[in-house]
Structure 1
């Protein structure tokens, strides 16, 4: 099991350059790069070549570009823009060696039939799969545990990925999103584990299902999600890739970025090490 840092965790108190330095210093194996804000900011003063050189000369590596947002059920014009954005992300992924591009389903107040959501998602993901194949990049679909997301449970997302039926299209399994809309543990137990590409670890305050928002997330192991059950199933089924810590907690944005990165690693390690043998080469104490 490899440890990864998702840059949302320091969204308001850091930037890509700092995240890279601190995460590398504190022993993370991977980073998920935010393409909506932190990467463009980085490129104002640096180049993609600079970013590639950093990864080539340090332990930490790029796991994923996060994210291609709202890929399904779009207008023709919006769809064309999504495809062009994806092509650009593929070039970045190739240059820096990122394994995955995370794709997020549409969030909308519009009512869309389940059939239409599935048909659109499958069609677009097959197109993304075709475009990604020559690059050796995989598409990781992240369902979002919110009532207004068109794909908001693990079971629904898994069904879509199964219909796509491509080796380079799988899922992001986010513990918060799994909990937030009441996804079923039986669906995880019955899933083909090879279809889970990335695991996001997080926790949450104990609000009712359907009312949780990203801001309710807390450090892993300090909230209401039964993380031991989830990681027990993942380990039993043979998942042994990256676990990426991702939070959007306003209070945590008030911390010094390095402190947040340290706490994120320690709380993640404390949860995951009960189910996986993880070598932690950098020891520290939470203040």
Structure 2
């Protein structure tokens, strides 16, 4: 198992350059780069070649761009914006060696029937798959455990990815999102582990289904999520790739970034190492 850091965890108290230095120091294998804020902020003062050079000369590597948001059920203008943004991600991602683009389904107050949601997702993901193929970058679809997200359970997301049926289209399984809308372990047990590209690790306070928000996240192992059930099932179905710690806790943003990253690593390793062996010699 590889250990990854998602920049949401230090969203308000760090930047990309600082996150990279701290993650390198603390033994992370890879990083998920936030494309909505942290990457543009970095590029204001550095050429993209500086970032590529950093990855070429350090242990830490770029796992994913996070994220292409609200990709499905868009009007014509919105759809073209998604395609243009994705094409730009491909060009920049190729320069950096990015493995995945995380794609987030539409969140909306509008009621859309599930049939139309699935059709749109399959159509758009197939188009994105074709664009991504020559770049060697894969698309990791992240269902969001919120009532207003058009794809909000593991079972629904897995059905969409199976229907797309492309090797470069798979899933992000975020433990918080899995818990937040009551995704079923039974659905995960029936899944093909190779369809899950990235595991997001986190925990949460014990609020009812449908009321949880990202700000309720906690360090892994300190909340109400059945992490043992999720991790043991992932091992059973053959997942063994990468775990990325992703938190949005406001209190954690008040801490020093190094303390946050260190605690994120320690709590993640403690929980995950019961089921998976980490590859890096620095983890321990």
Q: Does TM, scored on the shorter chain, surpass 0.5?
A: yes
**2:110 is matched with which residue?**
110
Q: How far apart, CA to CA, are the structure 1 residues paired with 2:83 and 2:239?
A: 30
Q: Deviations over 1:146-179 (max 9, x none)?
A: 0000000000000000110100000000000000
Quote the offset at 1:278 in angstroms. 2.1
**1:139 is matched with which residue?**
139
Q: How far apart, CA to CA, are the structure 2 residues paired with 1:280 and 1:83?
A: 36
Quote the offset at 1:283 in angstroms. 6.9
**2:217 is matched with which residue?**
217
Q: How far apart, CA to CA, are the structure 2 residues paired with 1:38 and 1:65?
A: 11
Q: Deviations over 1:210-269 (max 9, x none)?
A: 100000000000000010111011112221101000000000000000110000000000
Is residue 95 of structure 1 aligned with residue 105 of structure 2? no
SS, match of residue 212 in structure 2: coil
Unaligned runs of 5+ in 1: none
**1:201 is matched with which residue?**
201
What does 1:75-90 align with in structure 2 at a 5 Å threshold? Answer: 75-90=75-90
Is residue 60 of structure 1 aligned with residue 60 of structure 2? yes
Aligned residues: 284
Q: How far apart, CA to CA, are the structure 2 residues paired with 1:159 and 1:266?
A: 34
**2:35 is matched with which residue?**
35
CA RMSD across the alignment: 1.0
Quote the offset at 1:54 in angstroms. 0.3
Q: How far apart, CA to CA, are the structure 1 residues paired with 2:126 and 2:44?
A: 33
Residues 186 and 283 of structure 1, relative CA distance in 2, 3 Å threshold? closer
Residues 279 and 165 of structure 1, relative CA distance in 2, 3 Å threshold? closer
Q: How far apart, CA to CA, are the structure 2 residues paired with 1:201 and 1:239?
A: 14
Unaligned runs of 5+ in 2: none
Q: How far apart, CA to CA, are the structure 2 residues paired with 1:282 and 1:255?
A: 24
Quote the offset at 1:192 in angstroms. 1.0
SS, match of residue 67 in structure 1: strand
**1:8 is matched with which residue?**
8
SS, match of residue 33 in structure 2: strand
Checking the alignment, whether the CA contact within 8 Å between 2:205 and 2:218 is kept in structure 1 is yes
Q: How far apart, CA to CA, are the structure 1 residues paired with 2:245 and 2:131?
A: 28
